[in-house]
Structure 1
Protein backbone atom coordinates (compact mmCIF):
# COMPACT_ATOMS: atom_id res chain seq x y z
CA UNK A 1 0.00 0.00 0.00
CA UNK A 2 1.26 3.52 -0.75
CA UNK A 3 2.53 5.42 2.24
CA UNK A 4 4.19 8.78 2.78
CA UNK A 5 3.36 12.13 1.14
CA UNK A 6 5.35 11.39 -2.05
CA UNK A 7 3.69 8.02 -2.63
CA UNK A 8 0.28 9.51 -1.83
CA UNK A 9 0.76 12.25 -4.42
CA UNK A 10 1.81 9.65 -7.00
CA UNK A 11 -1.23 7.56 -6.19
CA UNK A 12 -3.58 10.52 -6.63
CA UNK A 13 -1.89 11.40 -9.93
CA UNK A 14 -2.24 7.83 -11.21
CA UNK A 15 -5.90 7.76 -10.22
CA UNK A 16 -6.58 11.08 -11.95
CA UNK A 17 -4.92 9.88 -15.16
CA UNK A 18 -6.86 6.59 -15.09
CA UNK A 19 -10.19 8.33 -14.46
CA UNK A 20 -9.43 10.82 -17.24
CA UNK A 21 -8.69 8.04 -19.73
CA UNK A 22 -11.87 6.28 -18.62
CA UNK A 23 -13.80 9.47 -19.37
CA UNK A 24 -12.30 9.71 -22.86
CA UNK A 25 -13.30 6.12 -23.54
CA UNK A 26 -16.86 7.07 -22.68
CA UNK A 27 -16.98 9.52 -25.59
CA UNK A 28 -15.66 7.07 -28.17
CA UNK A 29 -19.11 6.40 -29.59
CA UNK A 30 -19.27 9.85 -31.14
CA UNK A 31 -15.65 9.92 -32.33
CA UNK A 32 -15.00 6.54 -33.92
CA UNK A 33 -16.29 5.63 -37.36
CA UNK A 34 -19.63 3.81 -37.15
CA UNK A 35 -18.47 1.43 -39.88
CA UNK A 36 -15.32 0.63 -37.90
CA UNK A 37 -17.39 0.10 -34.75
CA UNK A 38 -19.72 -2.30 -36.51
CA UNK A 39 -16.76 -4.34 -37.76
CA UNK A 40 -14.67 -4.35 -34.57
CA UNK A 41 -17.09 -4.05 -31.68
CA UNK A 42 -17.78 -7.80 -31.28
CA UNK A 43 -14.07 -8.46 -30.82
CA UNK A 44 -13.77 -5.48 -28.48
CA UNK A 45 -16.63 -6.73 -26.31
CA UNK A 46 -14.97 -10.16 -26.09
CA UNK A 47 -11.64 -8.49 -25.31
CA UNK A 48 -13.33 -6.52 -22.53
CA UNK A 49 -14.79 -9.75 -21.10
CA UNK A 50 -11.34 -11.33 -21.07
CA UNK A 51 -9.67 -8.37 -19.36
CA UNK A 52 -12.41 -8.06 -16.74
CA UNK A 53 -12.49 -11.73 -15.79
CA UNK A 54 -8.71 -12.08 -15.63
CA UNK A 55 -8.43 -8.85 -13.62
CA UNK A 56 -11.04 -10.14 -11.15
CA UNK A 57 -9.33 -13.44 -10.44
CA UNK A 58 -5.68 -12.42 -10.80
CA UNK A 59 -5.64 -8.92 -9.29
CA UNK A 60 -8.79 -7.54 -7.70
CA UNK A 61 -10.01 -10.43 -5.52
CA UNK A 62 -6.53 -11.61 -4.41
CA UNK A 63 -5.64 -8.06 -3.36
CA UNK A 64 -8.96 -7.70 -1.55
CA UNK A 65 -8.31 -10.95 0.34
CA UNK A 66 -4.93 -9.64 1.48
CA UNK A 67 -6.61 -6.58 2.97
CA UNK A 68 -10.05 -7.85 3.95
CA UNK A 69 -9.59 -11.59 4.52
CA UNK A 70 -12.41 -14.09 4.07
CA UNK A 71 -15.01 -11.30 4.26
CA UNK A 72 -13.96 -10.46 0.71
CA UNK A 73 -16.13 -13.22 -0.70
CA UNK A 74 -19.19 -12.09 1.24
CA UNK A 75 -18.85 -8.57 -0.13
CA UNK A 76 -18.15 -9.84 -3.65
CA UNK A 77 -21.20 -12.12 -3.57
CA UNK A 78 -23.39 -9.31 -2.24
CA UNK A 79 -22.14 -7.02 -5.00
CA UNK A 80 -22.82 -9.65 -7.68
CA UNK A 81 -26.40 -10.19 -6.46
CA UNK A 82 -27.07 -6.46 -5.97
CA UNK A 83 -25.95 -5.66 -9.51
CA UNK A 84 -28.16 -8.41 -10.92
CA UNK A 85 -31.18 -7.10 -9.00
CA UNK A 86 -30.41 -3.51 -10.03
CA UNK A 87 -30.21 -4.46 -13.70
CA UNK A 88 -33.50 -6.32 -13.51
CA UNK A 89 -35.14 -3.41 -11.66
CA UNK A 90 -33.99 -0.86 -14.23
CA UNK A 91 -35.05 -3.07 -17.09
CA UNK A 92 -32.98 -5.06 -19.53
CA UNK A 93 -31.53 -3.16 -22.50
CA UNK A 94 -29.90 -4.49 -25.67
CA UNK A 95 -26.41 -5.93 -25.51
CA UNK A 96 -23.84 -3.26 -26.28
CA UNK A 97 -22.63 -4.83 -29.52
CA UNK A 98 -26.19 -5.24 -30.77
CA UNK A 99 -27.09 -1.65 -29.91
CA UNK A 100 -24.07 -0.16 -31.63
CA UNK A 101 -24.42 -2.43 -34.66
CA UNK A 102 -28.09 -1.50 -34.99
CA UNK A 103 -27.24 2.20 -34.84
CA UNK A 104 -24.49 1.75 -37.42
CA UNK A 105 -27.10 0.35 -39.81
CA UNK A 106 -29.63 3.07 -39.00
CA UNK A 107 -31.86 0.78 -36.97
CA UNK A 108 -33.53 1.58 -33.69
CA UNK A 109 -33.42 -0.45 -30.51
CA UNK A 110 -35.31 -3.73 -30.42
CA UNK A 111 -39.08 -3.41 -30.01
CA UNK A 112 -40.19 -3.34 -26.41
CA UNK A 113 -36.73 -2.39 -25.16
CA UNK A 114 -36.76 0.52 -22.70
CA UNK A 115 -34.60 3.35 -24.04
CA UNK A 116 -35.54 6.11 -21.60
CA UNK A 117 -32.48 8.37 -21.55
CA UNK A 118 -32.87 9.29 -17.87
CA UNK A 119 -32.90 5.64 -16.78
CA UNK A 120 -29.97 4.84 -19.06
CA UNK A 121 -27.85 7.75 -17.84
CA UNK A 122 -28.70 7.15 -14.18
CA UNK A 123 -27.63 3.51 -14.46
CA UNK A 124 -24.44 4.57 -16.27
CA UNK A 125 -23.63 7.15 -13.60
CA UNK A 126 -24.01 4.62 -10.80
CA UNK A 127 -21.81 2.19 -12.71
CA UNK A 128 -19.12 4.85 -13.20
CA UNK A 129 -19.05 5.70 -9.50
CA UNK A 130 -18.18 2.07 -8.81
CA UNK A 131 -15.53 2.04 -11.53
CA UNK A 132 -13.83 5.13 -10.13
CA UNK A 133 -13.89 3.69 -6.62
CA UNK A 134 -12.40 0.40 -7.83
CA UNK A 135 -9.56 2.12 -9.67
CA UNK A 136 -8.68 4.26 -6.65
CA UNK A 137 -8.77 1.29 -4.27
CA UNK A 138 -6.53 -0.75 -6.58
CA UNK A 139 -3.94 2.03 -6.91
CA UNK A 140 -3.85 2.29 -3.12
CA UNK A 141 -2.68 -1.35 -3.09
CA UNK A 142 0.04 -0.94 -5.73
CA UNK A 143 0.66 0.70 -9.11
CA UNK A 144 0.57 -2.73 -10.76
CA UNK A 145 -2.85 -3.60 -9.34
CA UNK A 146 -4.10 -0.13 -10.24
CA UNK A 147 -2.90 -0.37 -13.85
CA UNK A 148 -4.49 -3.80 -14.34
CA UNK A 149 -7.79 -2.66 -12.82
CA UNK A 150 -7.82 0.65 -14.69
CA UNK A 151 -7.11 -1.08 -17.98
CA UNK A 152 -9.96 -3.53 -17.44
CA UNK A 153 -12.30 -0.67 -16.53
CA UNK A 154 -11.35 1.41 -19.57
CA UNK A 155 -11.62 -1.50 -22.01
CA UNK A 156 -15.06 -2.55 -20.83
CA UNK A 157 -16.16 1.10 -20.70
CA UNK A 158 -15.63 1.48 -24.44
CA UNK A 159 -18.24 -1.01 -25.69
CA UNK A 160 -20.62 -0.02 -22.89
CA UNK A 161 -20.52 3.67 -23.75
CA UNK A 162 -20.68 3.00 -27.48
CA UNK A 163 -23.87 1.04 -26.80
CA UNK A 164 -25.25 3.83 -24.60
CA UNK A 165 -24.44 6.41 -27.28
CA UNK A 166 -26.25 4.29 -29.85
CA UNK A 167 -29.31 4.01 -27.61
CA UNK A 168 -29.43 7.75 -27.01
CA UNK A 169 -29.23 8.37 -30.75
CA UNK A 170 -31.93 5.77 -31.36
CA UNK A 171 -34.10 7.59 -28.80
CA UNK A 172 -33.87 10.74 -30.93
CA UNK A 173 -31.05 12.60 -29.19
CA UNK A 174 -28.68 14.66 -31.33
CA UNK A 175 -25.01 13.70 -31.67
CA UNK A 176 -23.92 16.73 -29.62
CA UNK A 177 -26.56 16.24 -26.95
CA UNK A 178 -25.65 12.57 -26.55
CA UNK A 179 -21.95 13.36 -26.14
CA UNK A 180 -22.60 16.15 -23.63
CA UNK A 181 -24.83 13.87 -21.55
CA UNK A 182 -22.30 11.04 -21.59
CA UNK A 183 -19.47 13.44 -20.74
CA UNK A 184 -21.41 14.62 -17.69
CA UNK A 185 -22.08 11.06 -16.62
CA UNK A 186 -18.36 10.23 -16.91
CA UNK A 187 -17.60 12.79 -14.19
CA UNK A 188 -19.25 10.53 -11.63
CA UNK A 189 -16.22 8.23 -11.81
CA UNK A 190 -14.21 11.03 -10.21
CA UNK A 191 -16.74 11.11 -7.36
CA UNK A 192 -16.22 7.41 -6.67
CA UNK A 193 -12.43 7.76 -6.82
CA UNK A 194 -12.39 10.80 -4.54
CA UNK A 195 -14.68 9.06 -2.06
CA UNK A 196 -12.28 6.14 -1.74
CA UNK A 197 -9.15 8.29 -1.53
CA UNK A 198 -10.69 10.39 1.23
CA UNK A 199 -12.58 7.58 2.95
CA UNK A 200 -9.55 5.33 3.38
CA UNK A 201 -7.83 8.05 5.41
CA UNK A 202 -10.54 7.70 8.06
CA UNK A 203 -11.39 4.03 7.54
CA UNK A 204 -8.47 1.99 6.11
CA UNK A 205 -10.57 -1.19 5.86
CA UNK A 206 -12.70 0.57 3.25
CA UNK A 207 -10.01 -0.22 0.68
CA UNK A 208 -10.51 -3.98 0.93
CA UNK A 209 -14.29 -3.63 0.98
CA UNK A 210 -14.29 -1.52 -2.19
CA UNK A 211 -12.02 -4.00 -3.96
CA UNK A 212 -14.27 -6.90 -2.95
CA UNK A 213 -17.37 -5.05 -4.19
CA UNK A 214 -15.55 -4.21 -7.42
CA UNK A 215 -14.59 -7.86 -7.83
CA UNK A 216 -18.21 -8.97 -7.58
CA UNK A 217 -19.46 -6.30 -9.97
CA UNK A 218 -16.67 -6.93 -12.50
CA UNK A 219 -17.44 -10.64 -12.36
CA UNK A 220 -21.10 -9.94 -13.08
CA UNK A 221 -20.37 -7.57 -15.97
CA UNK A 222 -17.79 -9.88 -17.52
CA UNK A 223 -19.62 -13.17 -17.09
CA UNK A 224 -23.27 -12.09 -17.45
CA UNK A 225 -23.25 -9.01 -19.67
CA UNK A 226 -20.20 -9.45 -21.91
CA UNK A 227 -19.27 -13.13 -22.14
CA UNK A 228 -22.58 -14.22 -23.73
CA UNK A 229 -21.75 -11.88 -26.64
CA UNK A 230 -19.14 -14.42 -27.77
CA UNK A 231 -21.98 -16.77 -28.76
CA UNK A 232 -23.85 -14.20 -30.86
CA UNK A 233 -23.31 -13.59 -34.57
CA UNK A 234 -21.25 -15.34 -37.22
CA UNK A 235 -17.81 -13.89 -36.39
CA UNK A 236 -16.95 -16.46 -33.70
CA UNK A 237 -13.23 -16.47 -34.46
CA UNK A 238 -12.95 -12.70 -34.05
CA UNK A 239 -14.69 -12.89 -30.68
CA UNK A 240 -12.58 -15.82 -29.48
CA UNK A 241 -9.34 -14.06 -30.45
CA UNK A 242 -10.49 -10.92 -28.67
CA UNK A 243 -11.36 -12.85 -25.52
CA UNK A 244 -8.05 -14.72 -25.45
CA UNK A 245 -6.11 -11.50 -26.04
CA UNK A 246 -7.86 -9.93 -23.05
CA UNK A 247 -6.99 -12.91 -20.86
CA UNK A 248 -3.38 -12.96 -22.04
CA UNK A 249 -2.83 -9.24 -21.59
CA UNK A 250 -3.90 -9.05 -17.94
CA UNK A 251 -2.38 -12.46 -17.27
CA UNK A 252 0.89 -11.27 -18.77
CA UNK A 253 0.90 -8.16 -16.60
CA UNK A 254 0.19 -10.29 -13.53
CA UNK A 255 2.95 -12.79 -14.11
CA UNK A 256 5.43 -10.11 -15.14
CA UNK A 257 4.68 -8.37 -11.85
CA UNK A 258 5.21 -11.62 -9.93
CA UNK A 259 8.46 -12.28 -11.77
CA UNK A 260 9.83 -8.83 -10.93
CA UNK A 261 9.08 -9.08 -7.23
CA UNK A 262 5.35 -8.80 -6.65
CA UNK A 263 3.47 -5.86 -5.15
CA UNK A 264 5.60 -3.19 -3.56
Structure 2
Protein backbone atom coordinates (compact mmCIF):
# COMPACT_ATOMS: atom_id res chain seq x y z
CA UNK A 1 0.00 0.00 0.00
CA UNK A 2 3.02 2.29 0.20
CA UNK A 3 2.68 3.04 -3.52
CA UNK A 4 -0.97 4.11 -3.19
CA UNK A 5 -0.26 7.73 -2.12
CA UNK A 6 2.22 8.04 -5.00
CA UNK A 7 -0.42 6.85 -7.47
CA UNK A 8 -2.90 9.31 -6.01
CA UNK A 9 -0.56 12.29 -6.38
CA UNK A 10 0.44 11.26 -9.91
CA UNK A 11 -3.25 11.06 -10.87
CA UNK A 12 -3.95 14.47 -9.31
CA UNK A 13 -0.96 15.91 -11.19
CA UNK A 14 -2.24 14.47 -14.48
CA UNK A 15 -5.66 15.96 -13.76
CA UNK A 16 -4.06 19.35 -13.11
CA UNK A 17 -2.12 19.25 -16.38
CA UNK A 18 -5.30 18.33 -18.26
CA UNK A 19 -6.88 21.46 -16.83
CA UNK A 20 -4.32 23.59 -18.67
CA UNK A 21 -4.90 21.94 -22.05
CA UNK A 22 -6.93 24.88 -23.33
CA UNK A 23 -3.86 27.07 -23.56
CA UNK A 24 -1.54 24.41 -24.92
CA UNK A 25 -3.56 23.14 -27.88
CA UNK A 26 -4.41 24.96 -31.09
CA UNK A 27 -7.51 27.10 -30.60
CA UNK A 28 -8.65 26.25 -34.13
CA UNK A 29 -8.32 22.52 -33.40
CA UNK A 30 -10.18 22.87 -30.10
CA UNK A 31 -12.98 24.82 -31.74
CA UNK A 32 -13.38 22.11 -34.38
CA UNK A 33 -13.28 19.13 -32.01
CA UNK A 34 -14.75 20.44 -28.75
CA UNK A 35 -18.12 18.71 -29.16
CA UNK A 36 -16.35 15.38 -29.78
CA UNK A 37 -14.31 15.97 -26.62
CA UNK A 38 -17.52 16.55 -24.67
CA UNK A 39 -18.93 13.29 -26.04
CA UNK A 40 -15.69 11.50 -25.12
CA UNK A 41 -16.00 12.86 -21.57
CA UNK A 42 -19.61 11.69 -21.31
CA UNK A 43 -18.67 8.18 -22.45
CA UNK A 44 -15.74 7.98 -20.06
CA UNK A 45 -17.79 9.23 -17.11
CA UNK A 46 -20.70 6.86 -17.66
CA UNK A 47 -18.39 3.94 -18.39
CA UNK A 48 -16.41 4.59 -15.23
CA UNK A 49 -19.58 4.81 -13.11
CA UNK A 50 -21.13 1.54 -14.25
CA UNK A 51 -18.02 -0.52 -14.95
CA UNK A 52 -15.79 0.40 -12.02
CA UNK A 53 -16.67 3.14 -9.54
CA UNK A 54 -20.19 2.12 -8.47
CA UNK A 55 -19.37 -1.63 -8.34
CA UNK A 56 -16.33 -0.84 -6.15
CA UNK A 57 -18.45 1.42 -3.94
CA UNK A 58 -21.02 -1.36 -3.49
CA UNK A 59 -18.31 -3.88 -2.66
CA UNK A 60 -16.84 -1.48 -0.09
CA UNK A 61 -19.96 0.10 1.42
CA UNK A 62 -22.64 -2.47 0.61
CA UNK A 63 -26.11 -1.56 -0.60
CA UNK A 64 -25.79 1.81 1.20
CA UNK A 65 -23.63 2.86 -1.75
CA UNK A 66 -26.77 3.20 -3.87
CA UNK A 67 -28.28 5.52 -1.25
CA UNK A 68 -25.20 7.77 -1.21
CA UNK A 69 -25.10 7.82 -5.02
CA UNK A 70 -28.75 8.86 -5.09
CA UNK A 71 -28.08 11.59 -2.52
CA UNK A 72 -25.36 13.19 -4.65
CA UNK A 73 -27.39 12.82 -7.85
CA UNK A 74 -30.45 14.46 -6.28
CA UNK A 75 -28.37 17.18 -4.64
CA UNK A 76 -26.90 18.21 -7.99
CA UNK A 77 -30.30 18.00 -9.66
CA UNK A 78 -31.88 20.32 -7.08
CA UNK A 79 -28.89 22.63 -7.20
CA UNK A 80 -29.26 22.86 -10.97
CA UNK A 81 -32.94 23.70 -10.67
CA UNK A 82 -32.34 26.49 -8.16
CA UNK A 83 -29.22 27.97 -9.74
CA UNK A 84 -30.24 27.64 -13.36
CA UNK A 85 -28.12 26.30 -16.24
CA UNK A 86 -24.71 24.89 -15.50
CA UNK A 87 -22.03 27.52 -15.82
CA UNK A 88 -20.18 25.39 -18.39
CA UNK A 89 -21.81 25.22 -21.79
CA UNK A 90 -19.22 22.84 -23.20
CA UNK A 91 -20.56 22.39 -26.68
CA UNK A 92 -20.91 26.11 -27.30
CA UNK A 93 -17.60 27.39 -25.93
CA UNK A 94 -15.63 28.15 -29.05
CA UNK A 95 -11.98 28.94 -28.38
CA UNK A 96 -10.81 31.70 -30.62
CA UNK A 97 -14.35 33.09 -30.99
CA UNK A 98 -14.68 35.69 -28.21
CA UNK A 99 -17.72 37.25 -29.88
CA UNK A 100 -19.80 34.55 -28.16
CA UNK A 101 -19.11 36.40 -24.89
CA UNK A 102 -18.96 40.03 -25.98
CA UNK A 103 -21.15 41.03 -23.03
CA UNK A 104 -18.34 40.13 -20.65
CA UNK A 105 -15.78 42.75 -19.75
CA UNK A 106 -12.29 42.30 -18.30
CA UNK A 107 -13.63 42.81 -14.78
CA UNK A 108 -16.69 40.64 -15.25
CA UNK A 109 -18.05 39.11 -12.03
CA UNK A 110 -18.34 35.85 -13.98
CA UNK A 111 -14.61 35.27 -13.47
CA UNK A 112 -14.48 34.89 -9.65
CA UNK A 113 -17.69 32.84 -9.57
CA UNK A 114 -16.38 30.57 -12.32
CA UNK A 115 -13.06 30.05 -10.54
CA UNK A 116 -14.80 29.41 -7.20
CA UNK A 117 -17.10 26.82 -8.78
CA UNK A 118 -14.11 25.15 -10.43
CA UNK A 119 -12.23 25.08 -7.13
CA UNK A 120 -15.09 23.23 -5.42
CA UNK A 121 -15.38 20.88 -8.37
CA UNK A 122 -11.65 20.08 -8.25
CA UNK A 123 -11.78 19.40 -4.51
CA UNK A 124 -14.41 16.77 -5.24
CA UNK A 125 -12.34 15.32 -8.07
CA UNK A 126 -9.27 15.03 -5.86
CA UNK A 127 -11.30 13.36 -3.13
CA UNK A 128 -12.83 10.89 -5.59
CA UNK A 129 -9.45 9.94 -7.07
CA UNK A 130 -7.92 9.40 -3.63
CA UNK A 131 -10.85 7.35 -2.37
CA UNK A 132 -10.81 5.20 -5.49
CA UNK A 133 -7.11 4.36 -5.24
CA UNK A 134 -7.53 3.52 -1.56
CA UNK A 135 -10.18 0.96 -2.54
CA UNK A 136 -8.28 -0.60 -5.48
CA UNK A 137 -5.89 0.34 -8.29
CA UNK A 138 -8.58 -0.53 -10.84
CA UNK A 139 -11.09 1.86 -9.31
CA UNK A 140 -8.36 4.49 -9.06
CA UNK A 141 -7.39 4.22 -12.72
CA UNK A 142 -11.02 4.32 -13.87
CA UNK A 143 -11.80 7.34 -11.70
CA UNK A 144 -8.68 9.19 -12.82
CA UNK A 145 -9.51 8.54 -16.48
CA UNK A 146 -13.07 9.77 -15.99
CA UNK A 147 -11.94 12.89 -14.11
CA UNK A 148 -9.30 13.78 -16.70
CA UNK A 149 -11.68 13.14 -19.60
CA UNK A 150 -14.23 15.49 -18.06
CA UNK A 151 -11.55 18.03 -17.15
CA UNK A 152 -10.48 18.56 -20.76
CA UNK A 153 -13.67 20.03 -22.27
CA UNK A 154 -14.62 21.73 -19.00
CA UNK A 155 -11.34 23.59 -18.63
CA UNK A 156 -11.15 24.35 -22.35
CA UNK A 157 -14.51 26.07 -21.93
CA UNK A 158 -13.28 27.97 -18.88
CA UNK A 159 -10.11 29.02 -20.70
CA UNK A 160 -12.18 30.29 -23.64
CA UNK A 161 -14.41 32.27 -21.28
CA UNK A 162 -11.45 33.84 -19.45
CA UNK A 163 -9.85 34.78 -22.76
CA UNK A 164 -13.15 36.30 -23.91
CA UNK A 165 -13.04 38.72 -20.97
CA UNK A 166 -9.85 40.18 -22.43
CA UNK A 167 -7.52 38.25 -20.16
CA UNK A 168 -4.08 37.33 -21.51
CA UNK A 169 -3.21 33.72 -22.23
CA UNK A 170 -0.57 33.67 -19.47
CA UNK A 171 -2.90 35.11 -16.82
CA UNK A 172 -5.75 32.76 -17.77
CA UNK A 173 -3.46 29.74 -17.51
CA UNK A 174 -2.03 30.99 -14.20
CA UNK A 175 -5.50 31.35 -12.67
CA UNK A 176 -6.57 27.92 -13.91
CA UNK A 177 -3.35 26.38 -12.57
CA UNK A 178 -4.06 27.89 -9.15
CA UNK A 179 -7.58 26.47 -9.18
CA UNK A 180 -6.23 23.02 -10.09
CA UNK A 181 -4.27 22.95 -6.83
CA UNK A 182 -7.50 22.62 -4.86
CA UNK A 183 -7.65 18.98 -6.00
CA UNK A 184 -4.63 18.41 -3.72
CA UNK A 185 -6.74 19.54 -0.75
CA UNK A 186 -9.51 17.08 -1.63
CA UNK A 187 -7.09 14.19 -2.03
CA UNK A 188 -5.22 15.08 1.16
CA UNK A 189 -8.45 15.31 3.16
CA UNK A 190 -9.46 11.80 2.09
CA UNK A 191 -6.03 10.36 2.85
CA UNK A 192 -6.20 11.78 6.36
CA UNK A 193 -9.91 11.15 6.90
CA UNK A 194 -9.77 7.51 5.81
CA UNK A 195 -7.54 6.79 8.78
CA UNK A 196 -10.08 8.23 11.19
CA UNK A 197 -13.43 7.32 9.59
CA UNK A 198 -14.16 3.68 8.86
CA UNK A 199 -15.61 3.11 5.39
CA UNK A 200 -15.04 6.69 4.20
CA UNK A 201 -13.64 5.50 0.87
CA UNK A 202 -16.81 3.63 -0.04
CA UNK A 203 -19.03 6.58 0.83
CA UNK A 204 -16.95 9.00 -1.25
CA UNK A 205 -16.87 6.58 -4.19
CA UNK A 206 -20.65 6.29 -4.01
CA UNK A 207 -21.03 10.08 -3.90
CA UNK A 208 -18.66 10.35 -6.87
CA UNK A 209 -20.77 7.79 -8.76
CA UNK A 210 -23.89 9.92 -8.38
CA UNK A 211 -21.95 13.05 -9.33
CA UNK A 212 -20.39 11.53 -12.43
CA UNK A 213 -23.72 10.03 -13.47
CA UNK A 214 -25.36 13.45 -13.20
CA UNK A 215 -22.59 15.20 -15.14
CA UNK A 216 -22.47 12.59 -17.88
CA UNK A 217 -26.19 11.91 -18.32
CA UNK A 218 -27.86 15.26 -17.58
CA UNK A 219 -25.13 17.84 -18.18
CA UNK A 220 -23.00 16.60 -21.07
CA UNK A 221 -25.22 14.33 -23.18
CA UNK A 222 -28.14 16.81 -23.59
CA UNK A 223 -25.72 19.45 -24.89
CA UNK A 224 -24.67 17.09 -27.66
CA UNK A 225 -28.17 17.07 -29.13
CA UNK A 226 -27.92 20.69 -30.30
CA UNK A 227 -27.01 21.83 -33.79
CA UNK A 228 -24.93 18.96 -35.08
CA UNK A 229 -24.03 18.59 -38.75
CA UNK A 230 -23.78 14.96 -39.96
CA UNK A 231 -20.00 15.19 -39.63
CA UNK A 232 -20.23 16.56 -36.08
CA UNK A 233 -22.77 13.88 -35.16
CA UNK A 234 -20.39 11.17 -36.35
CA UNK A 235 -17.55 12.78 -34.39
CA UNK A 236 -19.68 12.92 -31.26
CA UNK A 237 -20.74 9.28 -31.57
CA UNK A 238 -17.14 8.21 -32.13
CA UNK A 239 -15.98 10.31 -29.16
CA UNK A 240 -18.66 8.80 -26.90
CA UNK A 241 -17.76 5.23 -27.91
CA UNK A 242 -14.04 5.94 -27.49
CA UNK A 243 -14.68 7.24 -23.98
CA UNK A 244 -16.53 4.06 -23.05
CA UNK A 245 -13.87 1.90 -24.70
CA UNK A 246 -11.01 3.69 -22.94
CA UNK A 247 -12.45 3.05 -19.49
CA UNK A 248 -13.28 -0.57 -20.31
CA UNK A 249 -9.81 -1.18 -21.78
CA UNK A 250 -8.09 0.49 -18.84
CA UNK A 251 -9.91 -1.87 -16.48
CA UNK A 252 -8.93 -4.96 -18.47
CA UNK A 253 -5.28 -3.89 -18.76
CA UNK A 254 -5.09 -3.00 -15.09
CA UNK A 255 -6.46 -6.40 -14.06
CA UNK A 256 -3.99 -8.19 -16.33
CA UNK A 257 -0.98 -6.17 -15.17
CA UNK A 258 -1.72 -5.95 -11.45
CA UNK A 259 -3.78 -9.10 -11.09
CA UNK A 260 -6.57 -7.31 -9.20
CA UNK A 261 -10.17 -8.38 -9.26
CA UNK A 262 -13.49 -7.32 -7.79
Q: TM-score, normalised by structure 2?
A: 0.90
CA contact 1:90–1:119 (8 Å) conserved in 2 = no
| Distance of 2:222 and 2:62 partners within structure 1 | 31
* 1:68 counterpart (61, 66, 91): 61
> Does the C-alpha gap of structure 1 residues 205 and 98 become closer, same or farther in structure 2, counting only changes over 3 Å?
same
Note the residue ranges of structure 2 that are not aligned, 5 or more in a row. none
Structure 2 counterpart of 1:29, from 6, 22, 25: 22
Superposition map of 1:1-264 within 5 A = 7=1, 9-92=2-85, 93-99=87-93, 101=94, 103-109=95-101, 116-232=110-226, 233-234=228-229, 235-256=232-253, 261-263=259-261
Which string of whole-angstrom CA distances, capped at 9 and with x for unpartnered residues, describes residues 197-222 of structure 1? Answer: 11001113111110001001000111
CA shift for structure 1 position 257: 5.1
TM-score computed with the length of structure 1 as normaliser = 0.89
Unaligned runs of 5+ in 1: 1-6
d(CA) in 2 for partners of 1:90, 1:29: 26
Instruction: Verify the 8 A CA contact 2:102 2:164 in the aligned structure 1.
Output: no
Q: Tell me, yes or no, if the aligned pair for 1:132 and 1:189 is still in contact at 8 Å.
A: yes
**1:82-104 Cα distance to aligned partner (Å, 9 max, x none):** 223334455423511311x1x32
Give the aligned length.
254
Q: Deviations over 1:59-117 (max 9, x none)?
A: 11110011111111111111112223334455423511311x1x3233233879x9711
Give, in whole Å, the separation in 1 of the partners of 2:18 and 2:81: 26
